[in-house]
Structure formats: C-alpha cells, structure tokens
Structure 1
C-alpha cells in the first residue's frame, strides 16, 4: 500500500514539474519617428512572452505619424529585436540580435564575428531567412534566421489604410530570444537584446518606430500602459496552447509550493517504507523455524 502511494505521488510530481516552467513577460511602449527624431508619445505596444523553448508576440502600433517612409510606395513593414536601447533616435539601437551568427547585413555581429567567419555579402555569403506573409509560427532550427529577425521568421506586416501595424493573432516562435540575454551588454561573442524596431520597406530599411523592452507581469500594467495581456488567453485556443496554459504568477507560485510539499511527502513515505515497513520490495517475510523439517 505504501509503495503504491509512493508511485502515485512520484507520478503526480513528474507531471506537475512538466508544467511548472516559468514564463517571462516583456513589453515595449513604441514611439514613432517624426520631425527628425522619435516622438516621446507612445503610439502602441509590442508584447513578448518567453517560456521553455518558445516565445510569443503580440503588437499594435499606429504608424500614421511617421514622416520618414512613404507607405504608398513601401506598404510593408519589417520588425526586429535589436541589441541596444534607444534614447534619442531609433539608430541608437545598434544591429539585430543575432546570438547564433546567422549574419544578415544588419546583424549586430556583422563587422566582427560575421566578418571573421566570412559570413558577409562581400565574401559571397547569402542570408536566406524569409517567410510567407501571414505566417504565424516559426519552427526552423537556428541558422536560417537571426533570432531577432522576427519579420524574417514570421512575415512582414502589410499596412492597412489605418496605418496601424498589428499582429493578426499571437505569433509563436520556437527559436526565441534567450531570456538571460535581456539587457546584457553586447561584447565579443555575447549578444544582448533590449529593444524592438520597426522598419520601412525601402532598400535602406529606414527605422520608423522603436521601443525599449521592460520586464513586466502578465497584466503588463507595471511598465507598458498600452498592453493588456488578456490577449494571450483570448488569442490562444485549446488546440494551439503549447505554452503551459498561460500559467499566472500566482498559479505558478502555488504549483511550486505543491511540488515542494509533494517531494517532502515522497521523502517521508520513503523513510517510512525503508525503516518501518521493511524493504521497498515488500514487507519482510517471517523467519523460518530452524527446527522445522
């Protein structure tokens, strides 16, 4: 009986451990390029959730005030994660976050590691990342696309008449940014990430909007006023919810407590089985009478 209970508790703990991975929420208030600089007024948000082996994105940015891109000529918008924060201009953000050295011409490592590896157009290297418009999931192994090349992985946005660049649903990316790289300095082979940048569709990839990521909560109100993370639940159906069911912070803490208490119970049962009930293989058999035939 004790051994059966021990197996049941162990099985439950294994299942609980599989769903107890922490999720990290980030959000950026996005400002647009206007009047030769960057407006200080938020024109939307870019939200990101990073879990175990995936990330998810949702965003909405009003680009109608942009004055350095002719959307009638260039109606598509690219968007990437960049390595630095912006202060006065989107050009402050440096290059694309590229820890795997996929090496587009805009990689943060273009002039350093990519050049040393001959992964530049001048050396004949061709960056092959591209996605069909409307793609909402990316699962190709790292190497084809820079980790930070989100529109390369998920498709560029075609602006509607309202000029609001928005995700059609929550996008899923199975080659996510590394959570531990958030806010790290980009030095040598270490690549940090800090901001989101939107680009015009012109040949130069003119930077038209940007925002700095901040670590936040599921509700998002701590640092990103335009972000309502209820969208995570609203946009994820049961048959496409591959990220542990949007476990809330309170739910995660409760699950961790259950797991810890469960392991304590396992230890108690183990001690009881070993020292009070005999070997784990079963209760000790009665000793044979030495006088019996």
Structure 2
C-alpha cells in the first residue's frame, strides 16, 4: 500500500507535508459560516497556470492516521482535480472531510482551523444543513468535500483511496475560491476532528 501511495505522490507532484492528527472537540462546536455575499457559487471558468497543491503528513500521539489530500490543475481553463489517500484509519469506518477556513495553528491543534469554507453562506443553519451533491451550487458549502463527492470509507486494513479523481468546478488552486492557505480536516463518525493539515502550494 505504501508503494501505491508513493506512486500517487510522484504522479501528481505531491510533496508530503505535515498532517496532524489530534483529539478535539466535536465538529458542531466549531462549525461556522463565512460569506462574501449571498449569491450562488459561480462555476470557476478561469484557472491559473499549471498548479499543484498537496496535503499530507504524519500522525500525532493520539492517532496513527496519515496520508494526503491533493488538488491540481493541468491548464489555465480546466477545473481542479482532487483525490486522497489515507492510512491507519479505523477499519470499515466512514469519515468526512472538509476544506476549513483557516490553517492549522502553530500548536498543531485541528480546532484552530475554524469552520467549513462556505463563502456563499449556503449553510445558514447547522441543524438543518444538508448537502445535495447533485446541486452543489445551492445546497453545499464549497468546503464540504464529503458532501459533494462522498465520504471517506476505510477498508478492512484501515486504508482509503479516492475511487477516482474528482472534478471540482467551484474550488480552485489559487484563483476564485482558492484552497491554498486553508486546511483539510478529517472527522470521524462522531464529528470529532481526528486529523488535519495545511494546504500548501507545491508547484507552479
């Protein structure tokens, strides 16, 4: 499995960066809505030049989770592509993952990342929010990756590989709705933040 991960990293130019796993407060205690305006999310039509952004790392003392979430674009006009590879998850368990507003703090605490990235204020009420992946512009936080593309599901060995490269027409590497400078947070079934890491620019 590690060999397969290395192959993915080499293929997409992903450099492994620190990913911190930590015990923290439940998700609902830290959900927040961040908005620039109240219009529906536009499809990102203009993309930057060939850019790759990667996320990866190692576990903390509280869990052994490690892996990578990566975004990349192949030309100026193509949508971003996203995939993941995670290891040492709980076998047969389901996890959610999101782009969070802020980077991981200096103390490597996942709670420092703030709430889900939701620039168009789609989530007006956490109690009733429900992302419909077929209607991402009007029902999903842009950072709700598991809502838009499906949850992370660990196999019997605690490994989860994205079943495909997901096409994301709304988030970008560094142009409109950029992921660079934000973070990825992985949540367990209870909503606890069990792993996180900063999204870093890899190459331009």
Partner Cα separation in structure 1 for residue 53 and residue 196 of structure 2: 14
Q: 1:121 to 1:197 in 2, by over 3 A?
A: closer
Q: Give 1:143 shift.
A: 2.0
Q: Are 1:30 and 2:57 counterparts?
A: yes
Larger radius of gyration: 1
C-alpha distance after superposition, 1:130-150 (max 9, x if no partner): 44xxxxxx7x35221011000
Residue 185 of structure 2 is matched in structure 1 by: 197
Partner Cα separation in structure 1 for residue 186 and residue 49 of structure 2: 29
Q: 1:53 to 1:94 in 2, by over 3 A?
A: farther
Q: Would you tell me which structure has more helix in proportion to its own residues? A: 1
Q: Give 1:121 shift.
A: 4.9
Partner Cα separation in structure 2 for residue 57 and residue 211 of structure 1: 15
- What TM-score results when the alignment is normalised by the length of structure 2? 0.64
Paired residues of 1:32 and 1:63 also in contact (CA < 8 A):
no
Partner Cα separation in structure 2 for residue 206 and residue 129 of structure 1: 19
Q: Give 1:33 shift.
A: 4.9
Q: Give 1:212 shift.
A: 0.7
Q: How many residues align?
A: 155
Partner Cα separation in structure 1 for residue 126 and residue 187 of structure 2: 21
Q: 1:130 to 1:162 in 2, by over 3 A?
A: farther
What SS class does the counterpart of residue 27 from structure 1 fall into?
Answer: strand
Alignment of structure 1 residues 143-154 onto 2, 5 Å: 143-154=138-149
Alignment of structure 1 residues 62-141 onto 2, 5 Å: 62-64=87-89, 71=90, 75-86=93-104, 87=106, 88-103=108-123, 119-121=124-126, 126-131=128-133, 140-141=135-136
Partner Cα separation in structure 1 for residue 70 and residue 53 of structure 2: 6
C-alpha distance after superposition, 1:101-136 (max 9, x if no partner): 111xxxxxxxxxxxxxxx2257xxx322044xxxxx
Residue 199 of structure 2 is matched in structure 1 by: 213
Partner Cα separation in structure 1 for residue 171 and residue 81 of structure 2: 8
Cα RMSD of the aligned pairs, angstroms, is 3.2
Q: Would you tell me which structure has more strand in proportion to its own residues? A: 2
Higher relative contact order (CA 8 A, sep 6+): 2
Q: 1:193 to 1:81 in 2, by over 3 A?
A: farther
Q: 1:30 to 1:130 in 2, by over 3 A?
A: farther
Alignment of structure 1 residues 246-261 onto 2, 5 Å: none
Gaps of 5+ in 2: 1-45
